[in-house]
A and B are shown apart, each in its own frame.
Chain A
Amino acid sequence: TQLLEQSPQFLSIQEGENLTVYCNSSSVFSSLQWYRQEPGEGPVLLVTVVTGGEVKKLKRLTFQFGDARKDSSLHITAAQPGDTGLYLCAGDDAGGTSYGKLTFGQGTILTVHP
């Protein structure tokens, strides 16, 4: 069974601060995805990383996939209150199938105070 350990579980910061969320596993994933979820809504995909060592930037968000494809990080620069939400990492099984079964981390609840 593949597991993803996501940390921290809770993050409360002031507007303008930087933060990093980590996602770690002992298993290899064929790809890793990051989602943001608002209360009462489904998760919305932010990015998918597929290549070991890959770095993707989405405005103030920077996503990195570890060289061994076992871990990933999400870094937010100059956080804003609109960044508040639940952030989830999810790994796609590396079994070489197209089933797309995702293993999710426990999530990070981010609160950015004005």
Chain B
Amino acid sequence: SQTIHQWPATLVQPVGSPLSLECTVEGTSNPNLYWYRQAAGRGLQLLFYSVGIGQISSEVPQNLSASRPQDRQFILSSKKLLLSDSGFYLCAWSVRGFVYTFGSGTRLTVV
């Protein structure tokens, strides 16, 4: 069966520190991978998506970057965090953009 792992679940980081959030998918090959950010109790905003290894598309200009070093691994990074980077980050995968599964999310608080 297909599963998606996202970690850590919570993270508190000081302003200016680096960030690395990791997401891995099991049980599928060549998935589309996504990073979303969610404000408290609201909808999700697409940050990045990837249709293959090394292929990253950014949806909004920001202080974050994404990488896909392996087929089923998606990483969200920042060199220097800002207060405005706080939020709930969700990784997701889909096959041909149709069936969609989300990870359990990472609550990031920048202090």
List chain A positions with a Cβ less than 8 A from chain B. Answer: 4, 6, 31, 33, 35, 40-45, 48, 86, 88, 90, 92, 97-107, 109
Contacts and interface: CB of A to CB of B under 8 A. Distances in A.
Contacts of A101: 34, 46, 49, 59, 97
Contacts of B99: 45, 48
Given A40-B107, A42-B90, A42-B102, A88 B32 contact: no
Given A100-B49, A105-B43, 5 more contacts: A6-B43, A41-B105, A42-B103, A101-B59, A103-B46
Contacts of B94: 100
B105 A98 contact: no
- What does DSSP make chain B's interface, helix, strand, loop or mixed? strand
B20 interface: no
B44 A41 contact: no
